[in-house]
């Protein structure tokens, strides 16, 4: 029996669903499952016990490993159109960017919408219930990109954290991108305020939140960084940018600003819990301490960091210093997928290589992708399975051959390589059932998206 998708309507009583007797669950004292009422978790049921009050429906989870919905804190949805692109394969970040800028300026509005839809769907199928995106690409025709991403998230039923990204320094200004991909500061700030007024919901349980995300120190002005921070304060929203990703970035900041990236961040007023950074690899001990003291979050992107050979994030030191650490898949042209469960496994492996086999566990990697990511986004209503939090859940089966012989179900998800959820619940509603997104024709999506992606091969 499937769960209720009921929501409050007038004075109607909320329906109660018992997700019963899971094979394993990432929650204390919930061996007998959990009870969902409306969009929230209302009870953890001990093994062998019954819910404290009657339920309307029961879902037998005896084949399922239940974890909190994964939370993606860094992505570039448009890049699903340029996976394994011949112009960019086997390049580090700066040459990779310069090669793909010549392709991304050809993305049409229809292609962008399908890129967004495909990225959301991939993430959802991997067990992701909150999808963050950093969209900074605004060639002619893509001015309403945030509107498209909000629309697609609402259609699919996934929780979204869309950041209004930007680039205002082109090659002629000493930046990296061509001028056709940039906007001036005033245009960016005006549209940032527009989308915040239209879409940002700061209330608990929000399905859509907006953040402000100037792309990086080498793509935007100091004025834009400062005024984005002031705008975020006025609208109570988060701030996001790339920082500390490569040694080339360090060299750029020293040449252009006479300071390292973290000093630059402090000067422009971003050293606060309102900010989280993508990658955060090349920080020295003092910078790690300062970031932690300020509560600045870091999104660890293990897959793209390995693909581009950018370096290894100092996750353990950052977390020990007080910085929230979350996970992100990063762009699908540097990953080259949008599978966050795969990212959990990669996070475990690269951090064990860095810190030792006993220092980082599968539970650490799962925590980064749930609680840690929620903290980066400034949310305390998602990321854990406990009463009062939103009912965002990912349920995996261990039926595939690669799980045969696995003894610890939670460890098996990570060590044996789970990559597709059997069921996914967002805000109390099933959004993936039997491994398929509800209401989505994935075959047609693949065909339509693939056709438009082929048009971007151009002169490769």
Tokens 């799980």 appear where? 403
Which domains does the chain show, CATH number per domain? 16-67+386-435 (2.30.40.10), 70-376 (3.20.20.140)
Mean pLDDT over all residues of the chain? Answer: 94
Q: Which H or E run includes 391?
A: none
- In order along the chain (460 residues), what is the average pLDDT of each group of 10 residues? 37 81 98 98 98 97 98 97 93 90 93 97 98 95 97 98 96 86 96 98 98 93 96 98 92 90 95 97 97 98 95 97 98 93 98 96 98 98 98 98 98 97 98 97 97 79
Give CA–CA dist 36/12, Å, rounded.
16
Q: How far is CA 171 from the centre of its chain?
A: 29
Residue 296 is predicted with a pLDDT of: 98
Residue 333 is predicted with a pLDDT of: 87
- Name the E strands within 227-284: 239-243, 275-279
Residue 13 is predicted with a pLDDT of: 64
Q: Determine contact, residues 451/108, Cβ cutoff 8 Å.
A: no
Residue 458 is predicted with a pLDDT of: 63
Residue 14 is predicted with a pLDDT of: 87
Give CA–CA dist 356/201, Å, rounded.
41
Residue 12 is predicted with a pLDDT of: 44
Q: Which H or E run includes 134?
A: strand 128-135
Q: Which H or E run includes 37?
A: strand 33-37
* C-alpha distance from residue 88 to each of 91, 98, 99, 108, 457 (Å): 6, 9, 6, 20, 11
Give CA–CA dist 228/333, Å, rounded.
27
Residue 273 is predicted with a pLDDT of: 97
Give CA–CA dist 310/96, Å, rounded.
12
Residue 174 is predicted with a pLDDT of: 81
Give CA–CA dist 189/19, Å, rounded.
45
Q: Determine contact, residues 49/366, Cβ cutoff 8 Å.
A: no
Residue 238 is predicted with a pLDDT of: 98
Give CA–CA dist 220/213, Å, rounded.
10
Q: What is the DSSP letter of 335?
A: S
Residue 243 is predicted with a pLDDT of: 96
Q: How far is CA 272 from the centre of its chain?
A: 20
Tokens of 8: 């409050």
Give CA–CA dist 460/458, Å, rounded.
6
């Amino acid at each position: 029996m499937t769960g209720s998708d009921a929501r409050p309507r007038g004075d109607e009583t909320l329906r109660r669903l018992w997700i019963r007797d899971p094979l394993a669950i990432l929650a204390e004292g919930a061996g007998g499952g959990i009870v969902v009422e409306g969009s929230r978790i209302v009870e953890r049921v001990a093994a062998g016990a019954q819910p404290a009050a009657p339920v309307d429906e029961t879902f037998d989870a005896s084949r399922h490993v239940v974890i909190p919905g994964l939370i993606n804190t860094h992505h570039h949805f448009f890049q699903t159109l340029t996976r394994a692109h011949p112009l960019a394969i086997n390049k580090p970040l700066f040459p990779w960017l310069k090669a793909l800028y010549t392709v991304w300026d050809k993305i049409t509005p229809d292609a962008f919408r399908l890129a967004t839809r495909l990225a959301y769907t991939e993430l959802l199928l991997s067990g992701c219930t909150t999808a963050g995106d950093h969209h900074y690409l605004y060639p002619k025709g893509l001015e309403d990109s945030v509107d498209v991403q909000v629309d697609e998230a609402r259609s699919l039923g996934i929780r979204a954290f869309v950041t209004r990204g930007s680039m205002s320094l082109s090659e002629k200004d000493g930046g990296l991108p061509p001028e056709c991909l940039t906007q001036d500061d005033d245009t960016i700030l005006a549209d940032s305020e527009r989308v915040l007024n239209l879409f940002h919901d700061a209330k608990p349980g929000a399905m859509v939140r907006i953040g402000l995300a100037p792309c990086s120190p080498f793509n935007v002005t100091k004025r834009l960084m400062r005024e984005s921070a002031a705008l975020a304060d006025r609208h109570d929203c988060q701030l996001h940018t790339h920082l500390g990703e490569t040694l080339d970035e360090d060299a750029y900041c020293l040449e252009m600003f006479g300071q390292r990236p973290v000093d630059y961040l402090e000067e422009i007023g971003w050293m606060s819990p309102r900010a989280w950074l993508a990658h955060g690899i090349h920080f020295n001990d003092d910078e790690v301490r300062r970031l932690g003291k300020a509560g600045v979050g870091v999104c660890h992107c293990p897959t793209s960091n390995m693909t581009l050979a950018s370096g290894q994030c100092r996750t353990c030191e950052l977390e020990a210093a007080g910085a929230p650490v979350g996970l992100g898949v990063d762009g699908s042209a540097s990953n080259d997928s949008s599978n966050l469960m795969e990212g959990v496994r990669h996070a475990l492996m690269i951090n064990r290589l860095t810190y030792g086999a006993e220092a980082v566990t599968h539970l650490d990697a799962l925590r980064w992708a749930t609680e840690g990511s929620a903290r980066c986004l400034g949310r305390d209503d998602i990321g854990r399975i406990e009463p009062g939090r939103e009912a965002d859940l990912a349920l995996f089966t261990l039926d595939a051959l690669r799980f045969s012989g696995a003894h610890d179900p939670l460890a098996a998800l990570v060590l044996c390589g789970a990559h597709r959820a059997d069921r996914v619940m967002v805000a109390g509603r099933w959004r993936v059932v039997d491994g398929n997104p509800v209401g989505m024709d994935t075959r047609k999506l693949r065909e339509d998206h693939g056709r438009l992606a082929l048009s971007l091969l151009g002169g490769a």
